[in-house]
Chain A
Amino acid sequence: MTIAADVLDRHGLTPEEYQRIVDALKREPTLTELGIFSVMWSEHCSYKSSRVHLKTLPTTGLRVLQGPGENAGAVDIGDGLAAVFKIESHNHPSFIEPYQGAATGVGGIIRDIFTMGARPIALLNSLRFGPLDDPLVRRTFSGVVAGIAGYGNSIGIPTVGGEVAFDESYTGNPLVNVFCLGIAAHDEIIKGVASGAGNAVYYVGAKTGRDGIHGATMASAEFDEKSSEKRPAVQVGDPFMEKLLLEACLEVMKSDALIGIQDMGAAGLTCSTSEMGSRGGAGVEIDVSLVPQRETGMTPYEIMLSESQERMLMVVKRGREAEVEEIFEKWDLHAVRVGEVTTDGTLRVRNHDEVVAEIPNRALTDDAPLYRRPMSEPAYISEARQLSLASLGKPATPPDAFGRLLASPTIASKRWVYRQYDHMVRTNTLVLPGMGAGVVRVKGTHRALAMSVDCNGRFVYLDPHAGAQLAVAEAARNVACAGGKPIGATNCLNFGNPERPDIMWQFARAVEGMGAACRALDIPITGGNVSLYNETDGRAVLPTPVLGVVGLIEDADTVVRRAFRAEGDAVVLLGETRDELGGSEYLEVMHRLIRGVPPALDLQREAALHRVLVEGASSGAIRSAQDCSEGGFAITLAECAIGTGLGARVDLQAVASTAGFGDIATLFSESASRVVVSVAPGREAELLSLAAREQVPARRIGVVGGNRIQMAIDGRMVIDEALADVERAWNTAIERYFEPARAIA
């Protein structure tokens, strides 16, 4: 049989890749085999464009128990426990069908965590949408939030934090990145391996339907006006089924009867059988006629490629089958034996007695195509980096800019979002959403874990190398503000079409920057996800390499939140403000501009700042801490006060800038490595000397108290607003798009 060009095209395979398949098999593939190759060699599963770059990231460290290559990474958190975590994207499905796309993204990342033997205890998400005045964007945004809520709430894992940002470039291609963290005992971590010839291969969970066929291939192509026709390729989630799977799997894992287990996510049964076999140096043989099916007349091709949700593949030790089956029976789930482990390193798929596919595992995994795609600096870069403040005309007044920035959806309160997420279930949440990094305690220990997901796409757009470093620094800084020492990270790299040299250049530069920053801050990356082809009609999203950082807090009682605590506390600014408005929220909100050079970052200074924050938190000297990011110092000060009933009065040193822009730069520059902390009056000297020891610039700038937010520059008052007005602007900016009547009242 020969495969026609249009069939290849529909499978997203090039003629060269087809030839490679023929060479690997030493014959023409069957249609089922072609389907299997197409999903395993898709960008989503094979990382064929990104692998050469990802290999340069730091992935090892004293605490790393599991690096990339498994379902999730794991780091040691003491007491014989491990934090198991990963982030994953569900961008493409979430645009096509927001609710189910986002919901199944949550379901997928949760499975990755409990597959490792860990009980998931926290979710975060990093979301990007177009501007909210577009009704289609509002529909996508509310659908995604409802989908995340619908799945996470039902399964009972709290969504404890995250970030949401808005930019024109995400209008036709939202980003939905979901992070999950679980806890496992070191000796209970289980892997996705198949080994031991003759051991039974079990299928458990939901039945297989025709949903999601070629989801991985879809996620590896750009969008155009016909994308909505791809809706059938989005799966439908069933959080209740997943809850049963989660409990049943964790119970089975305690029994020591499993060799390995893997979830069926992207590329379903195909990916789980070939990857488990490949990792264990074994083969897997299955009979698709034994696979529980939801629909009639499904072909082997469809069964192998289905991405129906809530399914797991397990290899059970010989002689322990009855025990395993009994546990699943208890949870009203049926574990079905569909095949066994072989010694020949081959994925063999039978339909009853007929062999419909026979492929060496290596051809699907390790020997998948690997591309060094051509790259070149994008044409826009040199022009976009030119920023002339003088050409912007007269700068806004500080109060005007302050008011508009507070109401910018990227900066404003995300209460409308997180109120829909159950963020307290499991009773571990020490820091509520909107109060800083997500922090959960680890029951049975005195420790807590802080986590944050961050990226400023504008900085990456203007300078991918610097922008990715700034993302690492910000995520780690957020964790350190809570008192957590950063101990590991996971990344989700969202970019456009890698076949375009300018996109590939952004990607390569960003990965280089991310690697350098993680090395300097000693934060190994233990896994993650790459999402390419984030484009609609040829327009790419802002390059958005999101980093999720996990930090360890030794004493859960010393957690620090963003909010001021007491009247009379000193306000101290750690770090230095410079004339750095490039890529700022100020330029975006006031001038609709993404221009200039991102703020400079000194990684050694950043690391020193983190040491001050962690030590200041554990000693109790720091009573509140909030880092300066979008909107600069002025917004950070407001965030420290909002919700506390406590205002603040500060006096800043002027920053020299282009004529007329001095006040704006002082207040709204987004200089890196800065944190606003509050300190009890008696402990000010202690904090300042700690900062001096680490050579971190620190200056007492004012005092907590009153009911106004007052900012002066060199003694001259520039912003003086009632705290209540500041809160109203910040609290209602997103809500007013959805509940106009309530927000006005």
Chain B
Amino acid sequence: MKFAVVVFPGSNCDHDAQYAAQHVLGQQAEYIWHKDTSLEGADVVILPGGFAHGDYLRTGAIARFSPIMAEVQKFADAGGPVLGICNGFQVLLEAGMLPGAMLRNRSVKFQCEHVLVKVEQTDTPFTTACRSGQVLRIPIAHGEGNYYAEPEVVARLEKNRQVVFRYTNAEGMPTDESNPNGSVANIAGLCNEQRNVVGLMPHPERACEMALGSADGLVLFESAVRSVVNGVGGHFSRTVAAR
């Protein structure tokens, strides 16, 4: 199967996502330039971390206008699995493919460190291989990861079980101390209503080998493989229909 890693000017975790998919997981992973207009038959699309277009405006605000984004939208509409990591998550928010927005971290500083996140939903293409409630140790590296949405939007996200990842302590409790950036309801990642588009601030691609301090992130990539093998559109549209 084939991963597509979209490269925006200023993406800087594109190599890392490609490496995790191809060299750690042994799958095919191709770069797709943001000016391209085809995903070239990819089974999974990753929007990687970085500083697309320098992020001098709001993070992700310009990247959403890249030609490839129309294809990503179409791919997602057809039920294809899309993962936005960090800056990629921010792009998904700006593109309206996921609800909410990012504020600066409450520390008002860039923060790079390992954090703990709990997997709350296992019926997305990036969490099927997880145990529900599993706590992963994955790094964050961002200055604007303080997720915000209106209270009614957060309520809807909770009701629809769209909060996929939450910052918690080792026991899986979403305490204030375990919230690294001030995100509302400790939200670290979420999915769309169709559950095939997932965005998260932590970097699973940086936690795929024990040599780097943690291999907890690999399960997201393994989930993607498992989902595709089980049939992408079919499996997830059935999930949606069943609800």
Contacts and interface: CB of A to CB of B under 8 A. Distances in A.
Interface string A311-334: 000000000000000000011100
Contacts of B33: 330
B13 A425 contact: yes
A556 to B, nearest CB: 7
B111 A420 contact: yes
Contacts of A243: 9-10, 12, 51, 54
Nearest to A246: B12
Interface stretch (B90-98, B165-173, B203-211): B203-211
A150 B144 CA distance: 13
Nearest to B112: A422
A146 B15 CA distance: 25
A423 B211 CA distance: 15
- Is the contact region of chain A dominated by helix, strand, or loop, or is it mixed? mixed
Interface in A93-146: 146
Given A239-B54, A244-B9, A332-B9, A423 B112 contact: yes
Given A239-B51, A424-B203, A155 B12 contact: yes
A665 to B, nearest CB: 38
A186 interface: no
Contacts of B23: 443
B121 to A, nearest CB: 26
Given A153-B141, A331-B9, A419-B113, A424 B206 contact: yes
B139 interface: yes
B141 A425 contact: yes
A31 interface: no
B108 to A, nearest CB: 10
A525 to B, nearest CB: 31
Interface stretch (A426-434, A572-580, A708-716): A426-434
B7 to A, nearest CB: 9
A23 interface: no
B212 interface: yes
A557 interface: yes
A242 to B, nearest CB: 10
B222 interface: no
Contacts of B112: 153, 418-424
Interface string A392-428: 0000000000000000000000000011111111110
A154 interface: yes
B109 interface: yes
B205 to A, nearest CB: 7
A84 interface: no
Contacts of B212: 424, 427, 429-430
Contacts of B211: 430, 441, 556-557
A238 interface: yes
A219 to B, nearest CB: 27
Contacts of A429: 212
Interface in B188-243: 203, 205-206, 208-209, 211-213
Contacts of B111: 419-420
Interface in B8-52: 9-10, 12-13, 15-16, 19-20, 23, 33, 35, 49-51
Contacts of B203: 424
A240 interface: yes
B110 A149 contact: yes
For chain A, give the interface size range. Answer: 20 to 34
A501 interface: no
Contacts of B10: 154, 240, 243-244
Interface string A555-581: 011000000000000000000000000
B161 interface: no
Nearest to B139: A424
A68 interface: no
A156 interface: yes
Contacts of A427: 16, 19-20, 205-206, 208-209, 212
Nearest to A238: B54
Given A422-B141, A426-B15, A427-B212, A153 B9 contact: no
B104 interface: no
B16 A426 contact: yes
Contacts of A420: 109-112
B54 A146 contact: no
Contact of A156 (B13, B110, B139, B213): B13
Contacts of A418: 112
Interface string B96-138: 0000000000000111110000000000000000000000000
Contacts of B49: 425
Contacts of B208: 427
B2 interface: no
Nearest to B33: A330
Nearest to A149: B110
Interface string A227-260: 0000000000011110110000000000000000
Contacts of B12: 154-156, 243, 425
Contacts of B209: 427
A414 to B, nearest CB: 13
Contacts of A426: 15-16
Contacts of A149: 109-110
Nearest to A745: B177
Given A420-B112, A423-B112, A425-B141, A240 B16 contact: no
A427 B49 CA distance: 13
A244 B50 CA distance: 13
A149 B10 CA distance: 16
Contacts of B19: 427, 443
Interface in A147-174: 149-150, 153-156
Contacts of B54: 154, 238-241, 243
Nearest to B111: A419
A116 B233 CA distance: 47
B110 A153 contact: yes
B213 to A, nearest CB: 7
Contacts of A443: 19, 23
A677 to B, nearest CB: 21
B13 A154 contact: no
B168 to A, nearest CB: 20
B13 A432 contact: no
Nearest to A332: B9
B54 to A, nearest CB: 3
B231 to A, nearest CB: 31
A425 B203 CA distance: 9
Contacts of B51: 153-154, 156, 239-240, 243
B74 to A, nearest CB: 24
Nearest to B208: A427
B67 to A, nearest CB: 13
A419 B112 CA distance: 5
A149 B49 CA distance: 16
Nearest to A429: B212
A443 B35 CA distance: 28
A742 to B, nearest CB: 9
Contacts of A432: 213
A481 to B, nearest CB: 18
Interface in A170-203: none
Contacts of A421: 110, 112
Given A153-B51, A420-B111, A425-B12, 10 more contacts: A150-B110, A153-B110, A244-B10, A420-B112, A424-B112, A425-B16, A425-B49, A426-B16, A427-B19, A557-B211
18 contacts: A149-B110, A153-B112, A155-B12, A238-B54, A239-B51, A240-B9, A240-B53, A243-B12, A243-B54, A244-B9, A330-B35, A422-B110, A422-B112, A425-B49, A427-B205, A427-B209, A427-B212, A441-B211
Interface of B: 9-10, 12-13, 15-16, 19-20, 23, 33, 35, 49-51, 53-56, 109-113, 139, 141, 143, 203, 205-206, 208-209, 211-213
* Interchain residue pairs A-B with the least CB separation, the first 7: A156-B12, A240-B54, A154-B51, A422-B141, A427-B16, A422-B112, A420-B110
Interface of A: 146, 149-150, 153-156, 238-241, 243-244, 330-332, 418-427, 429-430, 432, 441, 443, 556-557
